């Protein structure tokens, strides 16, 4: 179901979705009020909801849509502005599953990327295709054995994407103030959004959290979020381990991406790394998790039942890099025990 007040936007999005054989466009609405009125009959699996609309905007419509169609996942269509970021982060806290940033009118070259991202997110959030009868069942993930000798990790690195803005506060809220080691987070978000999200995360977990700055020293009780449009890495320096930021090529169509952080953390800290991979589409974090465990570190992932999309954690688990696969709240407590050096 598509809800957008712009006839131009509705036109090209309708064309894109109708050309995609894996998607059925069940309803197109011109504002939030029409979306609320039509959603019960339309019964969508996914709703793409514009934020700025007359009559009823997306933020006002969102709680009504979630009440009337609790099965539907809502993707907020946002502008790449400070106001758009504030509204989008609020929508995520109200239960939207994900967001997509509209390309700016001055950068129409971004339309192809927007189309790919839109289709990928709708398919990832939609219902899973049931395997044909007689098809072999998918292999169960192989859990990696706990290292026989372990030291308390010196750093906690976390990766998240779709569903992450809600999963991160749930994961970190109960444990952030009980972990003294630095915590480094990659959440797939554009540059306009990460400062707002860092503020929101700080208020949710009750511990100082900010965007990382190039050259930041990894001091105790530090919580740093990778800024949008920058990869965040860890490096050794004369003053200790530091954060470096760069605009090298996107990884898995993302910048920031988790793999550069995980790779560099393994190189800088060796076996003193705990990696956590939360809900998200794609497989970012899979290769980096392999580097962490190859260096003697540990990796745990969120389970499928509590993930909005079990892409990233599922990829890590299927690759055999995960020591544990847990529901989000259990994962949080397991991470705390591991960071405190307790046997898990």
> Who contacts 235 (Cβ-Cβ below 8 Å, separation ≥6)?
241, 242, 243, 244, 264, 268
Which positions are catalytic? 161, 188, 284
Give the model confidence (pLDDT) of 253-295 as tens digits. Answer: 899 999 999 999 999 999 999 999 999 999 999 999 999 999 9
Which band of pLDDT confidence, cut at 50, 70 and 90, is reported for residue 223? very high
**Alpha-carbon distance 105 to 276, whole Å?**
37
Do both 263 and 310 map to the same domain?
A: yes
Give the model confidence (pLDDT) of 19-65 as tens digits. Answer: 999 999 999 999 999 999 999 999 999 999 999 999 999 999 999 99
Total domains, the chain: 2
Helix (H) or strand (E) holding 91: helix 82-93
Report the predicted TM-score, pTM, of the whole model to 2 decimal places.
Answer: 0.92
Do both 295 and 200 map to the same domain?
A: yes
Report DSSP state, residue 213: -
Q: What is the CATH number of the domain that holds 193?
A: 3.40.50.180
Which band of pLDDT confidence, cut at 50, 70 and 90, is reported for residue 172? very high
Range of the domain at 259: 155-339
Angle between helices 32-42 and 58-68 (to 10 degrees): 20
Q: What is the CATH number of the domain that holds 58?
A: 3.40.50.2300
Do both 171 and 52 map to the same domain?
A: no
Do both 27 and 96 map to the same domain?
A: yes
Angle between helices 82-93 and 58-68 (to 10 degrees): 20
Paired strand residues for 99 = 76
151 near 328, Cβ under 8 Å? no
Do both 119 and 190 map to the same domain?
A: no
User: In Å, what is the CA distance from 71 to each residue of 138, 211, 240?
Assistant: 25, 34, 49
Phi, psi dihedrals of residue 2, rounded to the nearest 5° = -115, 125
With respect to residue 135, please indicate whether it lies within any of the assigned structural domains: no
- Domain-ending residue, one of 125, 141, 163: 125
């Amino acid at each position: 179901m598509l809800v957008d007040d712009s006839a131009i936007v509705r036109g090209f999005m309708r064309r894109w979705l109708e050309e995609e054989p894996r998607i059925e466009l069940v309803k197109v609405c011109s504002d939030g009020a029409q979306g609320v009125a039509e959603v019960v009959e339309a019964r969508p699996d996914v709703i793409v909801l514009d934020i700025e609309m007359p009559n009823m905007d997306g933020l006002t419509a969102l709680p009504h849509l979630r009440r009337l169609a609790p099965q539907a996942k809502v993707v907020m269509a946002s502008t790449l502005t400070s106001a758009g970021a504030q509204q989008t982060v609020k929508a995520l806290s109200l239960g939207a599953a994900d967001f997509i940033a509209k390309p700016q009118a001055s950068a129409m070259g971004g339309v192809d990327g927007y189309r790919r991202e839109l289709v990928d997110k709708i398919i990832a959030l939609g219902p899973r295709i049931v395997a044909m009868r007689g098809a072999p069942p998918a292999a169960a993930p192989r859990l990696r054995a706990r290292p026989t000798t372990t030291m308390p990790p010196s750093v906690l690195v976390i990766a998240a994407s779709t569903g992450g803005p809600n999963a991160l506060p749930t994961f970190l809220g109960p444990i952030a103030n009980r972990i003294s080691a630095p915590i480094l987070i990659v959440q797939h978000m554009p540059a306009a959004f990460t400062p707002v999200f860092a503020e929101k995360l700080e208020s949710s977990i009750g511990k100082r959290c900010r965007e990382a700055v190039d050259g930041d020293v990894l001091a105790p009780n530090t919580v740093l979020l990778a800024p949008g449009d920058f990869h965040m890495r860890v490096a050794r320096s004369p003053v200790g381990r530091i954060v470096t930021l760069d605009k090298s090529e996107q990884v898995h169509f993302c910048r920031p991406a988790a793999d550069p952080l995980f790779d560099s953390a393994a190189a800088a800290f060796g076996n003193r790394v705990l990696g956590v991979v939360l809900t998200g589409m794609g497989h970012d974090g899979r290769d980096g998790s392999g580097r962490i465990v190859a260096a003697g570190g540990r990796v745990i992932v969120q389970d499928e039942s509590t993930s909005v999309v079990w892409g990233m954690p599922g990829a890590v688990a299927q690759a055999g890099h995960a020591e544990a696969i847990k529901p989000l709240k259990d994962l949080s407590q397991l991470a705390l025990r591991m960071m405190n050096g307790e046997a898990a």
